[in-house]
Every structure is written in C-alpha cells, then in structure tokens.
Amino acid sequence: MRLLHRNRGRRALTALVATAVAAPVLIAATPADAHSGNDRQHRKAERLARQLERESSAKGAYRHLKAFQGIADANGGNRAAGTPGHEASSAYVYKLLKQAGYRVSYQDFTIWDAKTTTEKLSVLSPDPRELKVTAGRLSPSTPAAGIQAQIAVAKVSDKPGCTPDDYTSDTFTGKIALIKRGVCSYAEKQAAAAKAGAIGAIIYNHSGTAPARPRFDKPADGKIPTAGISLADGEALTAAAKKGPVKLSLTIQQQHIPKTTRNVIAETRGGDANHVVSLGSHLDSVPEGPGINDNGSGSAGLLEVALKLARHTQHPTNKVRFAWWSGEELGLLGSDFYVKQLTPEQRKKIALYLNFDMIASPNAAELVYDGDDSDHTGSGPGPKGSAEIEKLITDYLDRKHKPHEGTDFDGRSDYGPFIEAGIPAGGTFTGAEGIKTAAQAEKFGGKAGVAYDPNYHAKGDNLKNIDLKYFDTNIDVIAHAVGIYAHDLSSLG
C-alpha cells in the first residue's frame, strides 16, 4: 500500500481443467418467468460462493506467499516495480493462471526510477544550521551549487498549499515556498507554488517525527525542486519567518531513469463481457522489503480464489477479470494506467471493482471500505453501487460472526482510479501504519497503541510477520464476493 501524498520454494501447479457450460436458449420471459430466473441465478451464485469459500483458504494461499518470499530472497530482498523480483513475481502469477485456463496478458507501461546523489538543506540566516531533508522522488534538480533564497510560507488552510488562495499572503516570486503536507498531492502543491512564482518547495510533514517524502509519478510532474522536512522543522521555520526573513540553501541532484514494468490481467474465457466483475491487488513491494503483507497477502489471496474458480467454471454468467497491478507503491501507476487506457464504452462494462491490499496485518483490524460514507470520515461515498458492495461484505462477515468496522476511501490503494472513473468499488484491509486503538484491541484482539503492521514498508514485512487468521477471513470474503458476483449482480441495484 502506497504512502498517501502505499524462486525458491516454488511448487509446481497441477494443471486445472476448465468446464465449459453451454449457453442457454433465450426465450421471451413473462414477469413470473423473470422472477423465477432471478431466483435461479441467486441460488446459482450462492452455491458457487459456498464452494469457493470451502475450497479457498489461508493454507492454500500460503504457498504463494512462500513463493513471493523466495523470489524476494533471490532478488535483493524485494519485489519492487521495475526490478527482477517483480518480474519473477509477475511470471509466477502469469504461469499459474495460464495453466488454470484463463485468458492471461501482460500490460507493459513505463515507470521512472530516481537516483538521488545530493539532498541538502541549510538555514543560512538568521540561525545557521543543517536540516534533515528528503529530496522529492522525481524532483527537478537544482543547479550544482543549489538555490539560495528566502522562504515564503503558504497559508495553512483546510487544504494547505493546494489552491492559489494559499499563496496570497506573501510574495512567492523568487522564493522557496514552505508548505504543509496534506489533502492534495505533492505534485499539486509544488505546481501551485511554482505558479505563484516560487523557485523551490519545501513540504513539511503533518505528523510524526520523520521528514515528508514528496514523490511525483513522472518527471514531468515536477515543476520546481522539491524536498521534504519534518513537522517540527516546518513549524520552527514558520515561527521564525513570522519574526523576519529566513534564508535557505537547497541542493538536489537527481537522475531519472525510465524502466518498464507490467500488470498481469486474467479473465474468464466465458461470461457476459458487458458485465465485468473486476478484482485487483498490487503485486509490487517497496524496495525496503519483500512485501509479504503489503501486498503479497492480497495478491496471494486473489490468486488462491482465481485458481479455485477455474476448477468450477471458465463460463460464469458475468465475465470475471482479475488483475495484479505494478507500480502501486510509486503512486497507483499500474491501476491508473489500466483505467486511463479504457475507452468510455469499456469502462461502462465494468460492473464493479474489488480491491484487496494488506489483508494479513500482524496486529490486524478487519476494515471494510466505507462505500456509503456512513462513518462520515474523510472522503465521501464511492460511486453508485459502492454502498451495496460494502453491505454484501459486511453482511457476510456478520453471518460469520466476524467483527468489522469501516475504513475511508482515502485514495491510498488501487481502487482510487476506478472510483475516479465512476466505477463502484469496495474491498477489505487490515491496516498499515495507523495505530490500533484500545477499542479496536478489545474488538479485534492484538495490541492497542501499536501499528496494525509494525513492519509496514520495512524489511520485516516477511513470512514471519503475518496473521493467518485474518488472512483466512479475508480470503473467504474474496471467495464469497467472486462467487456471488460471478452469477448475480442484482444486489448492486
């Protein structure tokens, strides 16, 4: 899961045989016939859902986690987009799906790597000192000698540094803009500062002790040299600027290197192509670790259910399409590329999108995306149909006596581009770097005051640090949703 602005041991897969189902003869239906037909579809969906739930398990999916761990171990400790580790992970998923009978394809696209050789920020006056700084990923470089200029502080509004109004309280021409992180993207903040005349941007964090880590999706997004500092340093510079001029020196030297990476897309051979049930998980890790929870867990869970579905049918009522995205950790690049290359007609054919990112966190909470915004937290509701997706998942968890609560559509994972395109979405999540509350510890178990995943984006995100119980629960959620939606979309309204 991306930050907001998220083989050895491989076993051979026994080939699976897809069962073709003859298409029924269509006849005109009376209202009673239609009602009876709907009942038959619903029973068919429930039967497939029960079969998939029974056969799909954490035990079965664990072999895929072992494969991902082995791939990372053999490739520098990670499976990051554009690396041999991700390429091997993609090949592993592709091979199993092809053997199972799916129509499988790679979707290649370009990503950019950033190699920073210099990142330095100094206060020149009135109180000279060095500050800990992180160069923005894919930031423009400064001249070799850096840029020296006074700071101008962007207004801290409800959308800090996001709108032109935030740059009217000071003269920004020829200065370095100081901006608080939050709400809009890093790219939007520095672009607004550049439009106001700034020659550089320093974005300070909105929480914690670490520097903000600005990132752009591609080099063209960077308008001015941009770097990140901590909340404490940002607030100290803001306070100093209220007393008089503050002059900084910022030096960023960075190389931008294009690479090719790929999504893996698999769909059933049959099913109504005008009604596509789409599901996805990102397959890439961060460079710092193997990414077994983030997001080997979602990738393995999706693969487990896809392989079990192939045992029963390649000809469901509705076409089922599975995707393993790349470049999520770089800014949802794979899912964004996929959605943007769809024609308007193709978008309309996608009935819904289900996302599974981090479903085995070691200090887990069972979180369901809040499609109807009933929690009134953060972003608003998803597109029409998202509320019904949430209900299908929560009703299932209730029947299984599994506690759960909502989580906001905050744009941190691959549902984001689908929501922007107006496609209803949903899914589950067991938490990232957020801190578990005492109430959540009472409800879900685990430790209060500790991150849902203490190994988030770190080397420790490995096979030893996952929760198999929550992994199993969320695989059941995937299985149930696939079984129902493969044959019956009537609950979407």
Residue 98 reports pLDDT greater than 60? yes
Average pLDDT of the residues in 67-80: 98
Least confident of 133-137, 169-173, 253-257: 169-173
Residue type (1 letter), 472: D
Residue type (1 letter), 199: I
Residues 472 and 370 in one domain: yes
We report the CATH number of the domain holding residue 400 as: 3.40.630.10
Q: Which two tokens stand for residue 373?
A: 């915004």
Q: Is 53 a catalytic residue?
A: no
Among the candidates 237, 258, 279, a domain finishes at 258
pLDDT for the residue 18: 34
Q: Is the bond into 318 cis (omega within 30 degrees of 0)? A: no
Residues 302 and 226 in one domain: no
pLDDT for the residue 38: 82
Residues 297 and 359 in one domain: yes
pLDDT tens sequence across 270-323: 999 999 999 999 999 999 999 999 999 999 999 999 999 999 999 999 999 999
Residue 385 reports pLDDT greater than 60? yes
Q: Spot the catalytic one: 119, 328, 366, 388.
A: 328
Query: Do 305 and 475 meet the contact criterion of CB atoms below 8 Å apart?
Result: yes
Phi and psi dihedrals of 309, rounded to 5?
A: -60, -40
Please check whether residue 4 lies inside any domain of the structure.
no
Residue type (1 letter), 117: T
Residue 28 reports pLDDT greater than 60? no
pLDDT for the residue 217: 86
DSSP per-residue letters across 290-321: --IIIIIIHHHHHHHHHHHHHHH-S--SEEEE
Residues 285 and 324 in one domain: yes
**Which pLDDT band holds residue 411 (cuts at 50, 70, 90)?**
confident
pLDDT tens sequence across 197-231: 999 999 999 988 889 999 998 999 999 999 999 99
pLDDT tens sequence across 322-341: 999 999 998 899 999 999 99
Q: Which residue intervals of 16-143 are DSSP H helices?
A: 31-55, 58-73, 84-100
Please check whether residue 467 lies inside any domain of the structure.
yes
pLDDT tens sequence across 462-475: 999 999 999 999 99
pLDDT for the residue 256: 97
Q: Supply the angle between the helices 58-73 and 468-487 in degrees, to the nearest 10.
A: 110
pLDDT for the residue 493: 82
Among the candidates 258, 276, 298, a domain finishes at 258
Strands 350-356 and 272-282: parallel
**Cα–Cα distance, 470 to 293 (Å, whole number):** 11
Strands 226-229 and 272-282: unpaired
Residues 53 and 124 in one domain: no
99 CB contacts (<8 Å, ≥6 apart)?
13, 15, 16
Please check whether residue 33 lies inside any domain of the structure.
no
Burial of 361 (0-12, 13-18, 19+ CB in 10 A): buried
Please check whether residue 445 lies inside any domain of the structure.
yes
Q: Is the bond into 126 cis (omega within 30 degrees of 0)? A: yes
Residue type (1 letter), 135: A
pLDDT for the residue 210: 87
Query: Do 322 and 114 meet the contact criterion of CB atoms below 8 Å apart?
Result: no
Query: Do 357 and 294 meet the contact criterion of CB atoms below 8 Å apart?
Result: yes
Give me the domain span that covers residue 382.
42-102+268-492
Global pTM value: 0.83
Residues 63 and 181 in one domain: no
Q: Coil, helix or strand for 264?
A: strand
Q: Which residue intervals of 101-247 are DSSP H helices?
A: 186-195, 231-243
Burial of 182 (0-12, 13-18, 19+ CB in 10 A): buried
Residues 349 and 438 in one domain: yes
pLDDT for the residue 22: 34
pLDDT for the residue 451: 96
Q: Which residues pair with 350 in a beta bridge?
A: 276
Write down the residue that tokens 């950019």 correspond to. Answer: 112
Write down the residue that tokens 């949430």 correspond to. Answer: 390
Supply angle C-alpha 465, 63, 395, rounded to 5.
Answer: 75
pLDDT for the residue 323: 99
Among the candidates 258, 279, 299, a domain finishes at 258
Residues 53 and 129 in one domain: no
**Cα–Cα distance, 53 to 413 (Å, whole number):** 25
Phi and psi dihedrals of 250, rounded to 5?
A: -120, 125
| Enclosing H/E stretch for 279 | strand 272-282
Domains contained in the chain, number: 2
Residue type (1 letter), 68: F
pLDDT tens sequence across 149-188: 999 999 998 889 999 999 987 899 999 999 999 888 899 9
Average pLDDT of the residues in 252-275: 97
Q: How many CB atoms lie within 10 A of CB 468?
A: 14
Average pLDDT of the residues in 227-250: 97
Query: Do 108 and 262 meet the contact criterion of CB atoms below 8 Å apart?
Result: yes
We report the CATH number of the domain holding residue 208 as: 3.50.30.30
Q: Coil, helix or strand for 387?
A: helix
Please check whether residue 21 lies inside any domain of the structure.
no
Residues 245 and 282 in one domain: no
**Cα–Cα distance, 275 to 363 (Å, whole number):** 37
Q: Supply the angle between the helices 31-55 and 298-312 in degrees, to the nearest 10.
A: 120
Average pLDDT, the chain: 92
Residue 435 reports pLDDT greater than 90? yes
> Residue 376 half-sphere exposure, CB side, CA atoms within 13 Å?
0
Residue 5 reports pLDDT greater than 50? no
| Enclosing H/E stretch for 115 | strand 103-125
Please check whether residue 198 lies inside any domain of the structure.
yes
Please check whether residue 430 lies inside any domain of the structure.
yes
Handedness of CA 362, 368, 369, 375 (dihedral sign): negative
Residues 382 and 484 in one domain: yes
Average pLDDT of the residues in 471-490: 98
Number of H helices, E strands in the chain: 12, 14
Distances (CA, A) of 327 to 87, 140, 218, 283: 12, 21, 12, 8
**Cα–Cα distance, 77 to 210 (Å, whole number):** 24
236 CB contacts (<8 Å, ≥6 apart)?
none
Average pLDDT of the residues in 432-438: 95
240 CB contacts (<8 Å, ≥6 apart)?
126, 127, 246
Query: Do 106 and 94 meet the contact criterion of CB atoms below 8 Å apart?
Result: yes
Residues 486 and 356 in one domain: yes
Least confident of 33-47, 80-94, 203-217: 33-47
Residues 444 and 477 in one domain: yes
Please check whether residue 46 lies inside any domain of the structure.
yes
